[in-house]
Amino acid sequence: MKSVRVRFAPSPTGYLHVGGLRTALYNYLFARKNNGKFVLRIEDTDRNRFVEGAVENLISALKWCGLDFDEGPETGGKLGPYLQSQRLGIYQKYIQELVVKGDAYYCFCTHERLEALKEEQQKQKFPQAKYDKHCLSLSKSRIEENLANRIPFVIRLNVVPNQKIIFDDIVRSRVEFDSNNVDDQVLIKSDGYPTYHFANVVDDHLMEISHVIRGEEWLSSTPKHVLLYDSFGWERPIFAHLPLLLNPDRSKLSKRQGDVAVEDYRAKGFLKEALVNFVALLGWNAGDDKEFYYMNELIENFSLERVNKSGAVFDIEKLNWLNAEHLRKKSNDDLLTMLRIEILNSQFSTLPTGRQVLNLPDAYLLKVISAMKERVSFVKEYLSNSPYFFEAPSKYDESSVLKNWKSETPDQMKKLYESFAKLNTPVKEDFEASLKETAAELNIDAGKLIHPLRLAVSGMSSGPGVYDILVIIGLEETQKRIDKAINTISVI
C-alpha cells in the first residue's frame, strides 16, 4: 500500500465547526494509525467570503484539540503552499492542459443569459437545470477574439453525456451516477480563481493525497472530481464520505440550534479530551462496548471501515457525561492547575475580598479537589457547587432552612459550638466524636445536628461529608460560621 497522506481542507469561515472537527479528527486518526501524514489546506478561493483572522482561529482550535498537522500554512511542507489563494498560477497551468484536451472550454455567457436559460429550462420542466454547452461550439478564432477583447469568461468542465460515472467509497461502497445529471461545472471563475471542484482535485493530486475523507455533502459532486482525475490521467484517491452531524430535530447541525463552534465548547469549560472522545463516537465505534477513549486509544482502534453511514445527532447530555468522566480521571495536580486558572477567571479576581482566594495555598485547594472530585462535571463547578470553600455563606438555602432549622436549633448549635471549642487542631474523627457526644448529651439524633451544621457552614444542603468540610475550612472558620448562622438565621 502506498503511503497514506490525508488532508483536512476547510474554508476559512472564522471558526472551527464541530462537524469540521469530526472530519479533521477522522483524517488525523487515520493518518496516525497508518503512519501517514496529516495535511491542513485552506480552501480560500472565494474572495467574497474572506474573514479576517479565520485561518489563525482554525489552526488554534485544531491545535487545542490536539490535532497537530504535519504540513500546512505556518508549518510549511514540501508540497505547499497550503493556501489555495497562493496557488493561482498552478491552477492556470493545469486548466490549460484540460482546455487543450477538450475536456474544458471557455464560456463567455453573461449572467443574464445564464439566468434566462435557467428560467426557460424550469418553464419547460426540465428534470434538471443545466448549462447548455452553448460556448462549446465557439470557433478557436472566436475564442481568441473574445479573449483579446477582454470579454469576461469562465472555464467549464466538458461533461460527455450518456456515461456512467462509478466510484468506490469506503463508507458507502459503490456509488453510480449518470453523466447526464452532471452539469458543466465552472472550473475557473471570471475573477481567475478556481472553484472548489477544480482546486481540490489539482491540489489533492499535487499534494499526493491518498485518501479523501470528507463530509457527505460532497458525495454529489464527486463525479465531477472523478471526471477531472480521469481526464488528467491521475490516479483517483480513495474516497470516504462521512455521515453528517445533526441537530436534535435531525436537520444538519447549525448555529440556530445551539453551539456549533469548537471555541464555544471550550469557553463553556469542556475538556478537549471529552470533546474529541465524544465527536469520535459520532459515526464510528470499534465494535465493542468501550466508550471512554483517550486520543492514543482512538488512534490505535480507528478504522474507516467501521464508520457509519447515517447521520448522528449531537447529544449534549452524553458530552456532559464524558466531560465528567474525563475530569475525574485527571490527577489532582492537573486539577489544581485548572482550578487556579478558573479562580483567576472568576469573580474572585476582581472582588476586593477575592485576594485571599487567589492566594489560597496548594494544600488547601488540593483538599477541596479531593472532596469535590466526584461531585463535579466541570472545573468551574468547584466554585459554583462548593463556594463555601472560598467564602463564608452569605445566604442559606431556603428549603433547607425550612426543613432543618427549627426553633430549638440555635440552642443546639450553641452547644455544638462549645463542644467544638474544646477541640485542639481536630481531625475529621475528632469533629465526628465531638458532634456525636453533643447529640448524646442533648438526647437527639446526630442528624439533628449534622443537617443544621451543614447549612450553617455551607449555606446549602449538598456537598461532601460535613466533617470533611469542617476539616478543610478549619475549626476557627467553622466556629465563625456557626456563630453567624445562629445570629443570621434566627433573625429570618
Partner RNA sequence: GGCGCGUUCGUCUAGUGGUCUAGGACGCCGCCCUCUCAAGGCGGAGAUCACGGGUUCGACCCCCGUACGCGCUACCA
Task: Give the integer Cα–Cα distance in Å for 187 and 195.
Answer: 5
- The residue from 134, 189, 380, 480 that contacts RNA (CB under 7 A) is 189
Helix extents (H) in 169-243: 196-206, 222-232
The one catalytic residue in 255, 268, 309, 414 is: 255
Nearer to RNA, 178 or 418 (CB): 178
- The residue from 19, 72, 459, 464 that contacts RNA (CB under 7 A) is 464
- Minimum CB separation from RNA for residue 172, in Å? 4
Distant-in-sequence, close-in-space partners of 248: CB < 8 Å, separation ≥ 6: 257, 313, 314, 315
Binding mask 409-448 for RNA (x = CB under 7 A): -------------------------------------xx-
Is 415 tagged catalytic?
no
Q: Is 469 helix (H, G, I), strand (E, B) or coil?
A: helix
Q: Does 190 bind RNA (CB under 7 A)?
A: yes
Nearer to RNA, 313 or 392 (CB): 313
- The residue from 309, 329, 355, 414 that contacts RNA (CB under 7 A) is 309
- Minimum CB separation from RNA for residue 385, in Å? 8
> Residue 260 burial by CB count (10 A; 0-12/13-18/19+): exposed, middle or buried?
buried
Q: Does 109 bind RNA (CB under 7 A)?
A: yes
Inter-residue contact 45 to 85 (CB < 8 Å): yes
Q: Does 306 bind RNA (CB under 7 A)?
A: yes
Residue 285 grid coordinates: 465505534
Q: Does 172 bind RNA (CB under 7 A)?
A: yes
User: What residues are paired with 211 via a beta bridge?
Assistant: 6, 238
Helix axes 18-33, 272-280, angle to 10 degrees: 80
- The residue from 39, 135, 240, 281 that contacts RNA (CB under 7 A) is 281
- Minimum CB separation from RNA for residue 16, in Å? 13
Q: Does 317 bind RNA (CB under 7 A)?
A: yes
The amino acid at residue 453 is L
- Minimum CB separation from RNA for residue 144, in Å? 19
Helix extents (H) in 189-331: 196-206, 222-232, 262-267, 272-280, 295-301, 316-329
CA nearest to 409, candidates 443, 456, 452: 452
Distant-in-sequence, close-in-space partners of 347: CB < 8 Å, separation ≥ 6: 354
Site for RNA in 12-31 (CB under 7 A): none
- Minimum CB separation from RNA for residue 3, in Å? 25
- Minimum CB separation from RNA for residue 344, in Å? 25
Binding span for RNA by CB under 7 A among 169-177, 268-276, 339-347, 472-480: 169-177
Residue 252 grid coordinates: 444538519
Chain position carrying cell 489555495: 84
CB-side exposure of 317: number of CA atoms within 13 Å? 2
- The residue from 56, 97, 120, 178 that contacts RNA (CB under 7 A) is 178
- Minimum CB separation from RNA for residue 195, in Å? 4
- The residue from 15, 294, 321, 364 that contacts RNA (CB under 7 A) is 321
Q: Does 183 bind RNA (CB under 7 A)?
A: yes
Q: Is 229 helix (H, G, I), strand (E, B) or coil?
A: helix
Site for RNA in 126-165 (CB under 7 A): 127-129, 131, 152, 154
Chain position carrying cell 473574445: 146
Site for RNA in 47-76 (CB under 7 A): 48-49
CA nearest to 56, candidates 14, 27, 19: 14
Binding mask 221-260 for RNA (x = CB under 7 A): x---------------------xx-x-x-xxx--------
Binding span for RNA by CB under 7 A among 30-38, 43-51, 75-83, 481-489: 43-51
Whether the upstream peptide bond of residue 410 has omega within 30° of 0, thus cis, is no
Q: Does 179 bind RNA (CB under 7 A)?
A: no
Kindly state the number of chain residues that form the binding site for RNA, as judged by CB under 7 A: 85
**Chain-centroid distance, C-alpha 333:** 26
Task: Give the integer Cα–Cα distance in Å for 428 and 324.
Answer: 28
Task: Give the integer Cα–Cα distance in Å for 183 and 22.
Answer: 30
- Minimum CB separation from RNA for residue 345, in Å? 23
Binding span for RNA by CB under 7 A among 68-76, 183-191, 256-264, 419-427: 183-191
Cite the active site residues: 255
